[in-house]
Amino acid sequence: MLNRPGEPLRIRGNYGSPYSLKMRAVLRYRRIPFQWVPQGSKWDDLPPFPLIPAISFPEVNGSGGDTMIDSSPLIARLEREYSERSVVPTDAVVAFIDFLLEDFADEWVTKMMYHYRWYYDDAIDRARKLLPLDGDQQMSENKWQASQRYISERQIGRRALVGSTEQNRAPIEDSFKRVLDIMQRHLEHHPFLLGQRPGRGDFGLFGQMIELLRWDPESVRIGIERAPRMVNWVERVDDLSWWDVEGDEGWVTHDAIQPTVLALLPEIGRTYAPFLLANEAAMEVGAETFSCVIDGHPYSQGTFVYQRKCLKWIREEYAKLSANDRRDVDALLAGTGCEILFTA
Ligand SMILES: N[C@@H](CCC(=O)N[C@@H](CS)C(=O)NCC(=O)O)C(=O)O
């Protein structure tokens, strides 16, 4: 079915999917009318895609509707097509930091999410029982049992590819705890990462963290212990349609980014930056797996084409900065370990 002018966007997702909840939260905050379509349900008539979320855009002036995936490019498209309540900071330096934070959340914090969902037995038990019901609450008992087996075997089988292994446990879990500690401090004084309004980094972090802090038993327990403010934050960011913003107001200027947000940069430099470079180097020689040192621990996983693309996108955003803005970004990144993204 093609959308017609005036119809809402349609978003295919499920409740266990961090990127689906990320995009639903963006649409809610931006007050863009949408209809939620549970993936694989009887209501799901969107064209097939390998990933969720997918968003189906209405037809405008006979242009033909279309459907696309991938949350970051989707956010960029929504920015082009809807002007109110933007999630991109107006200061190019702040926007670059926001872009980097979103990517860190999407690609590194997601490892925490996958790990806490598919590594611990009680988490696996919960996920395998609940996830199949997203698409069909009235699923027959037999089908439900079969779906549980299928999903848990498949996801457990992919742990090593994503990086959730005994060897990588310390770098992933330690990073989760440090991010929680930083956010607990940050949220003591500020509602969002970069001012009085949420940016793309907030939504990226929200998507992963709502799963970690509301779903998966071990990470929920750690969250309550270390970062109750963050647990509450994810509930709030899920629906910010009520949050008032005036035009372009509310963003921090680049010389006023909070120290608690700047504290996330060395976290990126300690974990995600060496990961991205090692993945890129492995892809260049056609390796299927790679090893590197993250936060002093040996770390190995399968090479990821998509994450090489992420590194390219980060470099493109950096290249787009004016000379002055780049100088300011360099000053913010100096000594964080993130510099290697641009100098290697
Ligand atoms: N880069 C994509 C990632 C989306 C993604 O990985 N989605 C997961 C669910 S959260 C998925 O659909 N995985 C395919 C599968 O499990 O079959 C985005 O930002 O939207």
What pLDDT, in 10s, does the model give residues 287-317? Answer: 999 999 999 999 999 999 999 999 999 999 9
Nearest CA to ligand 1 atom 1: 70
Q: How far is CA 232 from the centre of its chain?
A: 18
Tell me the fold of 9-81: Glutaredoxin (3.40.30)
Write the pLDDT tens digit of every residue in 145-188.
999 999 999 999 999 999 999 999 999 999 999 999 999 999 99
Could you give the 3-state DSSP secondary structure of residue 12? strand
- H-run or E-run covering 73: helix 71-81
Ligand 1 pocket test: pick from 52, 111, 211 the residue with the most ligand atoms within 8 Å of its Cβ.
52
Nearest CA to ligand 1 atom 19: 71
Q: What is the pTM of this model?
A: 0.96
Nearest CA to ligand 1 atom 3: 70
Cβ contacts of residue 79 below 8 Å, gap of 6+?
A: 86, 87, 88
Q: Check residue 3 and give its pLDDT.
A: 38
Write the pLDDT tens digit of every residue in 23-80.
999 999 999 999 999 999 999 999 999 999 999 998 877 667 899 999 999 999 999 9
- In the reported structure, the alpha carbon of residue 69 is separated from the centroid of ligand 1 by a whole-number distance in angstroms of 9
Residue count of the chain: 344
- In the reported structure, the alpha carbon of residue 125 is separated from the centroid of ligand 1 by a whole-number distance in angstroms of 21
Closest C-alpha to 94, from 312, 268, 310, 256: 256
Q: Check residue 63 and give its pLDDT.
A: 66
- In the reported structure, the alpha carbon of residue 298 is separated from the centroid of ligand 1 by a whole-number distance in angstroms of 26
CATH architecture for segment(s) 92-240+247-343: Up-down Bundle (1.20)
The answer to whether 180 and 222 have CB atoms below 8 angstroms apart is: yes
Write the pLDDT tens digit of every residue in 73-131.
999 999 999 999 999 999 999 999 999 999 999 999 999 999 999 999 999 999 999 99
Domain ranges of the chain: 9-81, 92-240+247-343
Give the number of other Cβ atoms within 10 Å of residue 277's Cβ.
Answer: 16
Give the CA distances from residue 207 to residues 47, 92, 111, 239, 321, in Å, rounded to whole numbers and listed in that order.
24, 24, 13, 12, 27
Give the number of other Cβ atoms within 10 Å of residue 96's Cβ.
Answer: 23
Write the pLDDT tens digit of every residue in 13-22.
999 999 999 9
